[in-house]
Chain A
């Protein structure tokens, strides 16, 4: 069950009604049942892994809390981390590891097909951080297993985040969540805004991008360049729309998820980009990997090494393929170079454009199926000819109407985001009366219905980050 499906909206409505008609003390149980149902709807077998990860980290939390010895606490945290990372490695990376061993040792080891449980990369990180937070004294232990299970499996965030911080999420499961019209209407508005970004923009871009990346040898120059730039936008609209929907859904039930995006393409440096892009993941790697490695409170070259390690791991976290590792490595290189040399222009807009170009270049590796494909894109995208430019643009598989829809939609979102950047316009939307909110929602729904990419024959509806 994915967010942009009819089934999900039926599920959401049923859960919403049940949640608010029963007594407050039973609402967590409703959410837990709903979350497990949501998670099982794709593959019930995945529930075993989710339960395993939940139980391991829950018990670990209790043990860390119970033990007074710092050494013992450390050992428990280490064992838990090894067990959970091991689980993630087994499910997500076994095939990749065996494949590379075979290449290096010229062997022919095989492994049975392992189905990667959806969202494992996200909920495992959440589970790893919990005992560490208790160890650090950032959060109190949660003894109620139902509440803890809900923290790991909360359906708006289980598949693709935002990765919840225990100190921010766990207290919310102990609070009452009365029916709050403002929260609910804001939540619905954010969900619809997310759907607009996903269905009208990201999925329409996906048609052209998938066509180009699926038939790379047929493209050179302008179409390749368009696909490369468009992918930067697609992945932003796709993933931020998912985060919007997750955020809005949680808000409908009275919960606040942490922010995942903060206008990333307005960043003036790659370092700043990472403080604005997939913020819950960046924060996680900072708190649970970069800082323990020593962060930047160490010698210059050790600090560079730490950055390299964090971004290589981050690349690998995104997917079991060399393309992701190279992507992570490029981002590490950017940041090391930014620290080594002053690469800033005096003009902020030039810095924003520079950062966008650098990030877009790295996305080529992220999107390509193989390193060779990425090299093909890089070596051919500047092979530009302006002859028959109109035909070249249309050859990516989008017609003139699609391009107009994309242009108008992207500019509209850009204007909204600039206004948010300068005048915090989101707050004005949140404080609107119910009727203006309703009108905005209806207009967005109509635009999405007409101009969205969906329906029979359309197959781009998966969210990109569901694959990680």
Chain B
């Protein structure tokens, strides 16, 4: 009997070691991203309940709002928890994921994807950037179900080694450091874009007209609003500088109304772009993104408006 118990214990130990090895292997092989967007693994490393402000959204958010500047001027510990072109439904699950570890005073939602999104599903790369490195949980299962259209493809999100196993051919130091030394990109999710000489031409078609949001976007915008209300968190909706056509401006106006109806602070830096004192010849990376200089001006104004 003793011998049998010992055998069972050894088997359990072998299985546990195998599971740990499988987990490390998955992290080793997973694509580490292209440097744009926050490193989800770094977010998990933040000490629990230490972040006061979490910024959610797409690249418009993580290139514009500088968490270091916010923290130095307001003492509010801030984190840009965003990925590129992140659709609103993923943002909702990011919010849920963030609330498992942090209880911030403020959630800042950058509204670009609510304005421009007009599909039920995003491209695979967008999903991969956002979902691949999330910890396995029911929240991850939910985000996969709602983001990946083809059911057969979902299994490679649940077990991302199915997608990335052949990356053994291209492993580099970062992969090894991430898997075995706990390395993560420690930038609070903020990406400072270099000056490119891009000259911004503000061609926004300003209007007072309102237009409905795409159905799935509206559904998840309300989910975000309701969740922050339920958790007693102040939601702030922000629109960073860019150029919108008539339809997009109309949708932005609709978001503004939703914000008003729900007592949400709405900071619209398209209709109020002049307040930012941006130099159109120097402060933009491209039409939708501020560069480092632009983001400093933007973040300063944001702090001012917040106060």
Interface residues of A, Cβ cutoff 8 Å to B: 6, 399, 401, 434-435, 438-439, 442, 446, 449-452, 454-456
A140 to chain B, nearest CB (A): 42
CA distance A435 to B10 in the complex (A): 8
A-B contact pairs, 10 of them (CB 8 A): A434-B7, A434-B11, A435-B11, A442-B18, A446-B25, A449-B165, A450-B25, A455-B163, A456-B156, A456-B162
Question: Separation in Å of the A397 CB from the closest CB of chain B?
Answer: 14
A401 near B168: Cβ-Cβ < 8 Å: yes
Sample of 9 more A-B contacts, CB < 8 Å, known A450-B29, A452-B165: A6-B155, A399-B169, A401-B169, A434-B11, A442-B14, A450-B168, A454-B162, A455-B165, A456-B156
Determine the chain B residues whose CB is within 8 A of the CB of A455 once the complex forms. Answer: 156, 162-163, 165-166
Which of B11, B155, B161 is A449 in contact with, Cβ under 8 Å?
B161
Check A449/B18 contact, CB under 8 A, given A435-B7, A455-B162, A455-B163.
no
Q: With a CB–CB cut-off of 8 A, which chain B residues contact A446? A: 18, 21-22, 25
Dominant SS at the B interface?
helix
Interface band, chain B:
10 to 19
Q: Which residues of B contact A434 (CB under 8 A)?
A: 7, 11
Evaluate whether A435 and B14 lie within 8 angstroms (CB atoms) in the complex, with A454-B162, A456-B162 already known.
Answer: yes
Measured between C-beta atoms, what is the minimum distance from B149 to chain A in Å? 13
A6 to B155 CA separation, bound complex (whole angstroms): 9
- Note all chain B residues with C-beta closer than 8 A to A6: 155
A456 touches B169 (CB 8 A): no
Within 8 A of A (CB), among B164-186: 165-166, 168-169
Interface of A is mostly: helix
Interface check B153, CB cutoff 8 A: yes
Distance (whole angstroms) from the CB of A455 to the closest CB of chain B: 4
**Nearest B-chain residue to A454, judged by Cβ:** B162
Closest Cβ–Cβ distance, residue A447 to chain B (whole Å): 11
Residues of chain A within 8 A (CB-CB) of B22 are 446, 449
The reply to whether B14 and A439 contact each other, CB–CB distance below 8 Å, is yes
Q: Which residue of B lies closest to A400 (CB)?
A: B169
By a CB distance below 8 angstroms, the chain A residues around B7 are: 434-435
Closest to B153 in A: A456
Closest residue to A455 on the B side, CB-wise? B162
Interchain CA distance A357-B183 in the complex, whole Å: 53
Q: How far is the CA of A399 from the CA of B22 in the complex (A)?
A: 26
For the complex of A and B, 7 pairs with smallest distance between CB atoms: A455-B162, A401-B169, A442-B18, A456-B156, A450-B168, A450-B165, A455-B163
Query: A459 CA to B264 CA in the complex, in Å?
Result: 50
- Residues 9-29 of B at the A interface (beta carbon under 8 Å): 10-11, 14, 18, 21-22, 25, 29
A439 surroundings in chain B (CB, below 8 A): 14
Of listed B18, B22, B25, B153, residue having the most chain A CB within 10 A: B18
Assembly CA distance A454 to B162 (angstroms): 7
Whole-angstrom distance between the alpha carbons of A415 and B162 in the complex?
29
Tell me the bound Cα distance from A450 to B10 in angstroms.
Answer: 25
Distance in angstroms between the alpha carbons of A130 and B153 in the assembled complex: 44
Contacts of B140-154 to chain A: CB distance below 8 A: 153
CA distance A438 to B29 in the complex (A): 24
Q: Contact check, A451 vs B168: say whether CB atoms are below 8 A apart.
A: yes
A399 to B166, CA, bound (A): 12
A6 vs B159: C-alpha distance in the bound complex, in angstroms? 12
Chain B residues, Cβ within 8 Å of A454 = 162, 165
Which residues of the other chain, B, contact A449 by a CB distance below 8 angstroms? 22, 25, 161, 165
Determine if A438 and B163 form an interchain contact, defined as CB atoms under 8 angstroms apart: no
Bound: A442/B168 CA distance, A: 19
CA distance A363 to B166 in the complex (A): 30
State A6–B156 Cα separation when bound (angstroms): 11
Q: Distance in Å from the Cβ of B229 to the closest Cβ of chain A?
A: 39
A414 vs B228: C-alpha distance in the bound complex, in angstroms? 62
Taking each of B10, B21, B161, B169, which has the highest tally of chain A beta carbons within 10 Å of its own beta carbon?
B169
Who on chain B is nearest to A442 by CB? B18
A456–B132 Cα distance when bound, in Å, is 14
Cβ of A179 to closest chain B Cβ, rounded Å: 15
Q: In whole angstroms, what is the CA distance A438 to B12 when docked?
A: 11
**A206 and B162 alpha carbons, distance in the complex (Å):** 19
Residue of A nearest to B152 (CB): A456
B155 contacts across to A, CB distance below 8 A = 6
In the complex the two chains form, what is the Cα distance from A435 to B12 in whole Å?
11
For A435, the closest partner residue in chain B by CB is B10
Q: Which residues of A contact B25 (CB under 8 A)?
A: 446, 449-450
- Bound Cα distance A439, B10 (Å): 11
Residue in A449, A452, A454 with the greatest tally of chain B CB atoms within 10 Å: A449
Contacts of B156 in A (CB 8 A): 455-456
A451 to B7, CA, bound (A): 31
A431 to B18, CA, bound (A): 23
Shortest distance between the CB of A450 and any CB in chain B (Å): 5
- Residue of B with least CB distance to A452: B165
The chain A residue with its CB closest to the CB of B10 is: A435
Chain B hits for A438, CB < 8 A:
11, 14
Q: Output the nearest chain A residue to B26 by Cβ-Cβ distance.
A: A449
Chain A residues whose CB sits within 8 angstroms of the CB of B165 once the complex forms:
449-452, 454-455
CB-defined contacts of B18 to chain A, threshold 8 Å: 442, 446
Residue of B nearest to A6 (CB): B155
A399 CB contacts on chain B under 8 angstroms: 169
- Please report the C-alpha to C-alpha distance between residue A438 and residue B10 in the assembled complex, in whole angstroms: 11
Q: Which residue of B lies closest to A443 (CB)?
A: B18
User: CA separation between A162 and B92, bound complex, in Å?
Assistant: 53
Q: How far is the CA of A150 from the CA of B165 in the complex (A)?
A: 39
In the complex, which residue of chain A has the Cβ closest to the Cβ of B168?
A450
Q: Which of chain A's residues have a CB closer than 8 A to the CB of B162?
A: 454-456
Identify which of B14, B162, B166 gathers the most chain A CB atoms within 10 Å of its CB: B166
**Chain B residues, Cβ within 8 Å of A451:** 165, 168
Chain A residues lying within 8 Å of B153, measured Cβ to Cβ, are: 456
